[in-house]
Structure 1
């Protein structure tokens, strides 16, 4: 299972009066536990599958908060591959710095 939490990854605001937003992927053996609709891929295209019979639940607000996705996508495109790599490296550096500060004061 892999959950891509847009709120934590891109520091987008919570409390936008809507459901959370982010992708969830699982291996085939866990697929029956996913709510419908699921995103499927066939014949070279993606589509929403509402017809799954092996699930017991349905998502009420499937698309989440759309502006959160637009903001995150815009930021990624603005940075480009090199900028995104730099941001990730700085993030790790900041995290390690904070960890050492906390360890020193605990």
Structure 2
């Protein structure tokens, strides 16, 4: 959960700013008859901006996930190589110990 939040945190101010539409307000007590359609248009515009922001965020998250998958594959290969190298080193050390013990016994 924390990893998701840290990935989205830089975009939160933009998302929040686009998510709260500023509706046109009526001046005075009487409401203009065309105020509701104007408010609906503003809400639709805000929704379109939100959809675009979500699309951009999803694309960036997809790129991040792809990069993380590639990096994890590379790290897995390096770890496998290090494990093989340590096994070879341990085998050589055991053989060296056996040769030294044989040389001391003889």
TM-score norm. by structure 2 comes to: 0.29
Name the structure where helix makes up a greater proportion of residues. Answer: 2
TM-score by length of 1: 0.29
Say which one has the larger Rg: 2
